[in-house]
Amino acid sequence: MNLKSDRTEPLLEARQSLSLFDATGTQLVCVRGALWVTQHLDAEDHFLAAGDALTLDRDGLTLIHAVEPAELALIAPATRPSAARRIARGIAAALLVAVRWVVRHFGPEAIGDHRWRGWYGAL
């Protein structure tokens, strides 16, 4: 699916259809009118009245048919960060935890915080 923005609001006349391809995650909101929605390899058809919403959960062809004149809103899903970006964020978070541990145990705040254990603790 190629939306120019993250929200599109098309108008459909009665018996007019709209086709979407690979629109997984897109939220479909029926603003006014009535819609019939069917998705590729989905055994269920969905009927939306004014105020109803449906999140598309399948890739492939999705057909939206206006039972009566209808206005709908298509809201694109938020983009997911790439795998490389998610891995980089994970490494950065792990390094931050490691640095905080080192500073807490060996940094200036650690002076006087050591508790000596064992027989030499009384020295």
Separation in Å, CA 41 to CA 59, 62, 63, 98: 9, 10, 12, 48
Q: What is the pLDDT of residues 73-104, one digit of tens each?
A: 999 887 777 888 889 989 999 999 999 888 88
Q: What is the pLDDT of residues 19-58, one digit of tens each?
A: 999 888 899 999 999 999 999 999 999 999 999 999 999 8
For the domain covering 7-75, report its CATH number: 2.60.120.10
Can you give the residue ranges of every domain in the chain? Answer: 7-75, 83-113
